[in-house]
Structure 1
């Protein structure tokens, strides 16, 4: 099996976890995954091994491999680190982003205004937005760190964007980040990104408390 095949299986499984198809604690069986994604068991096995190394899946006794979960403290630690690195990404984007990258970020914000009543589409837009800010930082080492954080975020089963009010707030927060990037306001971009993550964490805690 080619490395591309293994990479595709990895992406498919991670995306399924990210979308809640396999929530924390769900068993991951090679044969079932192979059938679902239409690939052989070899790339599935390789992908699961890679995800286990990254802490996305774990062994659970006789149940075998399951999707990992985050406890309350881990959730706080994740958002604490995320706020800092997302702020740095926005700061560097304000410093380095090309005009075309700024235009794309602006377009994503404007697109998102029409999606606040569609949580799934807004969620996808949100992922693209943050990914584009990360890329606009033009720092490969920072992006490696952010890739790890994105994998951990996939373990959060419910999106806070299912609340239309939070969806609208998110759009406004993204707009503030882009405005700072457009004007090369590094301090403003950093602060806006950290406020955005802090508000997301606050909403996440509210969602978890209501479950």
Structure 2
């Protein structure tokens, strides 16, 4: 099966192989990813259009979000994630909600462990809520936001005590969805995103340390 250069580069950025400020060189990427230079060139152009990459002279580097961009990102994310939770409470199938509950229970075993594993589990949990909303346009927009999260240095789940708090917040979100209470699910998820933003600001200010 043909490898998708765009998806491979996105995965490398999300996985921390390439971090904000890193320079991406077409020839090096083609060799690392095992694809020809043409799809890599097309992927880089697409990522630049999506503001995942920015120009530095003739080179492309992984973009970084400044304070204002970060604030704007979290405003939009809180509203869209909250809407997804509201719709999941209304339209999610019983089986999808059972899976959400199972994810929360399984993810408890990750507490205090590798922040990257926690981050992947967190993305999986949120993606399940997006899918349970059964709104393809919302899922598409949230997918773009998820990609933009790769432009943030590290994960807020690596901050001291944040993983346990986040898990408690996940519990509240799922409980509201199980109760088919759209308003409560919306508010629970918005609070969750607000706390994540607050944690990131505290880390950036040096008030919280990362594990």
**TM-score when normalising by structure 2:** 0.93
- Could you list the runs of 4 or more consecutive aligned residues of structure 1 that deviate by over 3 angstroms after TM superposition? none
Distance 2:176 2:191 in 1: 13
- Aligned equivalents of 1:26, 1:13: Cα separation in 2: 13
Unpaired stretches in structure 2, ≥5 consecutive residues: none
1:15 alignment partner in structure 2: 11
- Which of these residues, 52, 55, 61, is aligned with residue 57 of structure 2? 61
Aligned to 1:126: 122
Listed one character per residue, the Cα deviations across residues 132-170 of structure 1 (whole Å, up to 9, x for unaligned) are: 100100011111221221121110021011135101111
CA distance in 1, matches of 2:194, 2:136: 25
Residue 158, structure 1, aligned to residue 154, structure 2? yes
Out of 83, 90, 98, the position equivalent to 1:88 is 83
1:102 aligns with: 97
Distance 2:85 2:123 in 1: 15
Alpha-carbon distance in structure 1 between the residues aligned to 2:110 and 2:159? 12
Aligned pairs, number: 206
CA distance in 1, matches of 2:118, 2:65: 24
Match of 2:69 in 1: 74
Rounded Cα–Cα distance in structure 1 between residues aligned with 2:205 and 2:57? 29
Residue among 6, 30, 33 paired with 1:34: 30
145-154 or 79-88, larger mean C-alpha shift: 145-154
The two structures have a TM-score, normalised by structure 1, of 0.93
Q: Which runs of 5+ in 1 are unaligned?
A: none
Does the alignment pair 1:174 with 2:170? yes
RMSD value, Cα: 1.4
